[in-house]
Structures are given as C-alpha cells and as structure tokens.
C-alpha cells in the first residue's frame, strides 16, 4: 500500500521534473540571444522540411474534407430548403474548427513525429554531443530553428487547408449538386467575419503549432538514445500532441465562441 | 544547389499561403465592403427585425450592395433602427425606394431587400444619413402561425 | 613537465552506480596519453567529464589550471574551442556532405572567407587521405572513412587538445595502421596534446607517451609503455594479456549465478 502511494508520488514527481526540463529546453532555445544571420537560413531549411513537405497531405485532405462536408451539409440543408446556407456552413466549420484542428493532427503525424525521430537519432549518433564539444549550443542550433519553422508553417498550412476546403465545397455543392454559385459566396460573405472566424482560427493554429513542436522537439531531445527509445519517443509525440490539440481546442473554442 | 531548391519551394509555399489568406479575406469574409470612404449610410425603421444581424447583406435584386452596420432601438418610440452602409457606386436610389427584411430559403439567413422606387422630377435621391421611409418588417413565423390559427376560429 | 589537464580526487556515479572513486590523473602538454580499460569501465565518461559535459560528484578537473566543473557556461564554450573530441561513432552531421562537415566549425567560429575555408578543408582532407571524398555524404562512407573524416573535422580549428574515443575499435588492420600513423603525425607536427581512450593494447604501446589503466573504479596502473609492459602488478598483466579470469572481474556486478538460476530462497 505504502509502496503504491510512493509509486504514484514518484511518477508525478517524474512528470513534473520532465515538464521542468521541457521548459528549460524551451527557454534555452528561444530566450537565448538570437543569431538572426545564422538562424534565418536554418529556419528556412526547416520550413521546407516541416512546411513544404506537409503541403501535399494538407491540400489533399482539405479538398476531400470540404467536398465531404458539402455533400453531408447539402443533404441536411436541402430538407429545409436552406441549401443556400451551404457556403457559410462549410466555411465556418473549416475556419473555426476543422482547418486548425485537422491541420494540427496531420502536422503532428507528419512533421512532429519526423522531428522527434530526427533529433533522437542525432542524439543517438552523438551529433548533439559533438555540437556541444564544438562549443555550439544544440538548443540554438538544432532546436530553435525547428521551433520557429513549426510556428511559421502551421498557420500557413491552416490557411491553405481552409481555402482549399472551401473550394472543395464549391466543387461539390455548386458544380455537382447545383447550389447557386452566387448564393454560395454571398451568404458566406455575409456570415463569415474576419476577426471572429478567420483570425480566431489562425490564433488556434498558432497555439497548436507551439504545443506540437514543443512536444516533438523535447521528446526527441530527451529520448533514450537507442532504437527502442526513439521509436517510443516518436509514438509519444504523436499521441501526446494529438491529445493536447484536441483538449486545447475545446478550451480555446469555449474562450472564443462560447460566451458572447 | 539543394538549398536553392528548398528556398524556392519555401517561397512558393509562402505565396500559396498568402493567396489562401487573400482568398479568405476577399472572397470568404469579404473585407472590401468595410473600408471607409467607399460607402454611405442609409437608415430605416422597422417594427420588427426578426433575425436580422449586424453584417447581414443589403441586396437589390439579389445583388449585394451593402451591409447592416448597426441595429439600435429608438429611445422615444422603441422601434428598431437599422443603419446600413451602401457602396458609393450605388448612390442613386430615389426617395421612394422601400426596404424589407427577407429570408433566403425557409430557414436561411435574413437580409434586407432594397426595392428602388420610381424616380421623376421633384423626387430626390437618398443621401448619406437619410431614412428610408417605406419599410416592411420581417415575417415572424410565430406571428404567422398565430394569425392562421386565430382566423380559423 | 607542464600538465594541460589535472584531475584531482575525482568521484563520479551514474544512476546510483559508482564509476570513479577518488581518482587522480595528469595529462601532460604536448604528449599522447592513453587511458585504457575494459568496456563499460567509464572511459567515454572520463572524456565527457574532461569536456565539461558531465559534472563530477566531487573532486576537480583543471584545464590549464582552470576548474572545468566550476566554469560558467560562456567560459566553458570558450575553453571548448581549444579542445576537440573524436567520437566513437564519428558523429558526422548526416545532413551535410563531408566537405560541409569539416567546414562547419570553421564557418561557425571564424570569419574566414569561403575561399580560405575551402583551402583549409582540402588540406585537412588531404591529411586524412579523403580529399577525393569531399562531396560524398556521410552515409556513403565506410566506418573507417567516417572516422577519418571526423578526425579531419576535429583538427579543423587546430585545437590544442584532441580526445579520441576508441579510434581503433572496429577498424580493419589497414585503417588501423593509417589512424595510428595519423595520430602520431598530428602530435609530432602540431605539438598537440592527445588523449587516446582505447582497449587495443598493441596500438597504444606504440603511440602513447604515458598510459593509465582503469579498472574497478580506480587507476590500477600507470607509467610509460616500458614501465607498463614490465609491471609486476597482476591486474595490469591480466589486462595486457587479455585474460578473462584474474583479479579484474569480467562480469558486470551481479548477484550469485546460482541464486539467479535456481531462484532466491528467501
Ligand atoms: N546515460 C547513461 N546513464 C546511466 N548510465 C550510463 C550512461 N552512459 C553510460 N552509463 C554507464 O556508465 C558506465 C561507463 O560507460 P562508458 O563511459 O560509456 O564506458 P566505456 O566507454 O569505458 O566503454 C557503463 O557501465 C554504463 O552502464
Ligand atoms: Mg566508450
């Protein structure tokens, strides 16, 4: 019994300590004096890795999700003769929820896991130690550009996802099911508000990006440097960041749209 | 060589994101109508505005010419006053025009339909800040049903 | 004789297991010092302690008279520019070509022009016999080539101290010979101080000026190669001859085998 309680205590202490280490890592990477001249090319390279290479999956998913939503929405709305509201339905769901959330989940799976594995392997092959012995701080050199690249890429991916989704909805709703194109756009325009809908979606995606890249880089940096340790860390990144995204989404939605 | 290609593709990526942002701004959220100086204000009193909201569209024959700016309650007779900003390029509506609150579809969005009136000598055009006198309120479903039941008895 | 590194009464433990118990060592300047011992005894750990990547539990490590464990981070980074370490795996950056790997410390720490850097990189690659492999990626190199490329990177900034972690492990006889010659040549030509960590007895006896043998959390023997060879310590002789049975335990500390196999009775 005592052992059991001690076990719970130890597990929690380990969690708190690990959170402390993650925070220290973040500060070491971000607060450290910025070396813009050196870091900009590194960050651009990382935007290529986490952003550009995620583009295809984001565009394809956005297109299909927009198309499916138009199909489902149409069958429901047409029953009330309100198929004209298809535009705002598709646009609002994408901008407020699906855009940021689905992009974040795909990003966690596509880019987050790759980040963890990459940094874990760098640790296992002594590349991080080697940097340290060369008097180069791996937090600044390796972690910081990846953090920034993720924070920059995610909102852009989210914008692209939502835009493609709205076009996909147009493709199915207007071109296929025959909703009037004018009303698809004009009712959407009269409903969607820039600040409330688009900006809030971007803010969400920034928060998600921060959480995902933080988890991903920390899990790699803190991984046990063996093949088993890295595979475990990669799985943890995907699971933990997906859960964090969904949980945070609820909190953010409640804050942004819940109470008028 | 390799980093050149990466830089180029990152550039393309940023351009795509800007294009997506512009599309959301202009075509989805329609930012152009809220700009200053391009619009003028018309007001109208209604008995009942139903589900009309700020930013609802003002349409002439289906064409959006403006948006609802604000909805307030007149302090002396407790009727709603709707003020609409209308694009400057549509500034020749005669005083005899009428506005009504319409619904797209059975349960769709409510918007203001502006019906241009006849124009002849002696009738001025509506100018900034003018009231449109001839208004038709929103159809409120409950009222309609009530009337229907009442007349049956 | 001047000492570059002085280790005094150092103790260090990891996850509750003592690795070093109150040991002292001297690394003389301009000489090659070998640290020998069986696998898992903590040779890599010793190099990390010298580089300031790990902190001792007690005791001190002095580099040119300055205490490494008590250094501020910025000072430590300055001091590290005077040392370099050849990791066991080479630790080449896998996302850069061999050329860029060797240019990396130059680009990070100097303001030299790209032309000058290219010249230096070619010279260093020539020294390790890999000038033709400059444009290859690390994954295209054999183990021996990777180790040599890493050596070229380690000497790129002309450090005062090079620490080699098992440079001969897993090398074919030819690469081994090449590496031995390289280490010797570097030491003679550049007046470098070298610390070579290894368990290859024959190679060490040819290149080292001074040898420490570690076992059982302590230094069990030290001296010039001659002194070591003629040592009458049974521990040292067991290590030199590679005998499993002897005063040095070959097994990682464990319980009694019989108890482990037959189950504990209590
Ligand atoms: N990260 C670590 N955490 C805990 N123990 C470690 C770690 N790294 C090494 N050790 C332990 O320290 C001891 C010395 O390791 P090391 O210095 O790598 O040995 P060597 O290089 O002599 O083969 C080993 O017994 C190993 O179990
Ligand atoms: Mg080792």
Closest chain C CA to residue A141: C108
C-beta C199 within 6 A of ligand 1: no
pLDDT score at A37: 65
Ligand nearest the Cα of residue C166 is: 2
pLDDT score at A179: 85
Query: Which atom from ligand 1 is nearest to the alpha carbon of C88?
Result: 21
Query: Is residue A260's pLDDT more than 70?
Result: no
Query: Is residue A68's pLDDT more than 50?
Result: yes
pLDDT score at A204: 95
C75 touches chain A (CB under 8 A): no
Put simply, the answer to whether B7 touches A186 (Cβ < 8 Å) is: no
**Whole-number Å distance between alpha carbons of A169 and A163:** 10
Q: What is the mean pLDDT of chain A?
A: 89
Query: Is residue C235's pLDDT more than 50?
Result: yes
Query: Is residue A214's pLDDT more than 80?
Result: yes
- Which residue's CA is the closest to the ligand 1 atom numbered 16? C42
Q: What is the mean pLDDT of residues B29-35?
A: 58
Structure tokens given for B130: 């003018």
Q: What is the mean pLDDT of residues B45-66?
A: 83
**Residue A63 burial (C-beta neighbours within 10 Å; 0-12, 13-18, 19+):** middle
- Which residues are CB-contacts of B145 (< 8 A; sequence separation ≥ 6)? none
Put simply, the answer to whether B23 touches A163 (Cβ < 8 Å) is: yes
Using pLDDT thresholds of 50, 70 and 90, give the confidence band for residue C247: low
Q: What is the mean pLDDT of residues B36-58?
A: 81
C110 touches chain A (CB under 8 A): no
Residue B147 region, left (φ>0) first, then alpha (ψ -120 to 50), else beta?
A: alpha
pLDDT tens-digit map of A97-119 = 999 999 999 999 999 999 999 99
- Residues in chain C within 8 Å Cβ distance of A24: none
Residue spans per domain, chain B? 1-31, 39-148
Question: In this prediction, what percent of chain A has a pLDDT beyond 90?
Answer: 60
Which residues fall inside 5 Å of ion ligand 2, going by CB? C 44
Q: What is the mean pLDDT of residues C35-53?
A: 88
Using pLDDT thresholds of 50, 70 and 90, give the confidence band for residue B76: confident
Q: Which long-range contacts (CB under 8 A, 24 or more apart) does C63-71 make?
A: C63/C4, C63/C5, C63/C161, C64/C4, C65/C6
Using pLDDT thresholds of 50, 70 and 90, give the confidence band for residue B35: very low
DSSP code string of A131-164: HHHTT--HIIIIIHHHHHHHHHHHHHHHHHHHHH
- Which residues are CB-contacts of C176 (< 8 A; sequence separation ≥ 6)? C168, C200, C203
Q: Which of C42, C51, C212, C217 to mutate to test the pocket of ligand 1 (most atoms within 8 A of CB)?
A: C42
């Amino acid at each position: 019994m005592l052992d059991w309680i001690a076990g719970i205590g130890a597990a929690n202490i380990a969690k708190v300590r690990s959170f402390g280490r993650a925070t220290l890592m973040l500060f070491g990477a971000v607060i450290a004096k910025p070396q813009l001249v050196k870091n900009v090319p590194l960050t651009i390279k990382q935007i290529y890795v986490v952003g550009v290479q995620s583009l295809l999956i984001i565009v394809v998913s956005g297109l299909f999700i927009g198309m499916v939503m138009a199909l489902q929405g149409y069958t429901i709305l047409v029953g009330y003769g309100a198929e004209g509201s298809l535009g705002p339905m598709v646009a609002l769901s994408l901008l407020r929820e699906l855009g940021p959330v689905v992009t974040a989940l795909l990003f966690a799976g596509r880019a987050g896991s790759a980040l963890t594995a990459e940094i874990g392997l760098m640790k296992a092959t002594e590349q991080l130690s080697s940097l340290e012995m060369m008097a180069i701080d791996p937090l600044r050199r390796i972690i910081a550009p990846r953090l920034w690249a993720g924070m920059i890429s995610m909102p852009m991916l989210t914008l692209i996802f939502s835009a493609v989704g709205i076009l996909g909805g147009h493709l199915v709703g207007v071109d296929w099911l025959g909703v009037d194109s004018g009303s698809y756009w004009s009712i959407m325009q009269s409903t969607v508000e820039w600040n409330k809908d688009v900006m809030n979606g971007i803010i969400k995606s920034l928060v998600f990006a921060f959480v995902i890249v933080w988890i991903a880089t920390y899990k790699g940096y803190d991984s046990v440097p063996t093949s088993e340790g890295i595979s475990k860390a990669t799985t943890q990144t995907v699971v933990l960041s997906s859960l964090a995204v969904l949980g945070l989404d609820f909190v953010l939605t409640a804050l942004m749209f819940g109470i008028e | 060589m390799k980093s050149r290609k990466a830089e180029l593709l990152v550039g393309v990526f940023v351009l795509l994101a800007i294009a997506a942002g512009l599309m959301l701004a202009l075509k989805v959220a329609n930012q152009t109508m809220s700009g200053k100086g391009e619009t003028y204000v018309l007001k109208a009193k209604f008995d009942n505005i139903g589900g009309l909201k700020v930013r609802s569209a003002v349409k002439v024959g289906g064409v959006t010419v403006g948006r609802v700016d604000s909805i307030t309650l007149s302090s002396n007779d407790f009727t709603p006053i709707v003020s609409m900003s209308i694009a400057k390029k549509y500034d020749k509506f005669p005083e005899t025009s009428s506005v009504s609150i319409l619904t797209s579809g059975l349960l769709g969005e409510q918007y203001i339909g502006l019906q241009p009136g006849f124009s002849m000598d002696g009738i001025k055009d509506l100018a900034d800040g003018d009231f449109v006198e001839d208004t038709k309120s929103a159809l409120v479903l409950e009222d309609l049903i009530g009337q229907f039941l009442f007349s049956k008895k | 004789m001047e000492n570059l590194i002085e280790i005094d009464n150092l103790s260090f433990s990891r996850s509750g297991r003592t690795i070093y118990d109150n040991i002292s060592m001297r690394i003389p300047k301009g000489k090659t010092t070998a640290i020998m011992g069986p696998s898992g005894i903590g040779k890599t750990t010793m190099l990390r302690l010298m580089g300031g990547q790990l902190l001792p539990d007690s005791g001190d490590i002095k580099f040119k008279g300055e205490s490494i464990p008590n250094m501020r981070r910025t000072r430590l980074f300055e001091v590290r520019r005077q040392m370099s370490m050849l990791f066991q795996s080479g630790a080449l950056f896998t996302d850069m070509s061999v050329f860029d790997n060797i240019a990396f410390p130059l680009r990070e720490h100097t303001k030299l022009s790209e032309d000058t850097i290219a010249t230096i990189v070619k010279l260093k690659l020539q020294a390790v016999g890999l000038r033709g492999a400059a444009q290859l990626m690390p994954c295209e190199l054999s183990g021996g080539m990777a180790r040599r490329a890493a050596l070229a990177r380690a000497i790129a900034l002309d450090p005062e101290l090079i620490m080699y972690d098992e440079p001969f492990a897993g090398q074919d006889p030819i690469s081994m010979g090449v590496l031995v010659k390289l280490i010797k040549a570097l030491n003679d030509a550049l007046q470098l101080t070298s610390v070579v960590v290894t368990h290859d007895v024959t190679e060490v006896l040819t290149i080292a000026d001074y040898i420490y043998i570690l076992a059982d959390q302590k230094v069990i023997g030290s001296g010039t190669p001659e002194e070591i060879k003629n040592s009458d310590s049974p521990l040292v002789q067991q290590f030199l001859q590679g005998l499993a049975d002897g005063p040095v335990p070959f097994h990682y500390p464990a319980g009694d085998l019989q108890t482990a196999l037959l189950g504990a009775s209590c």
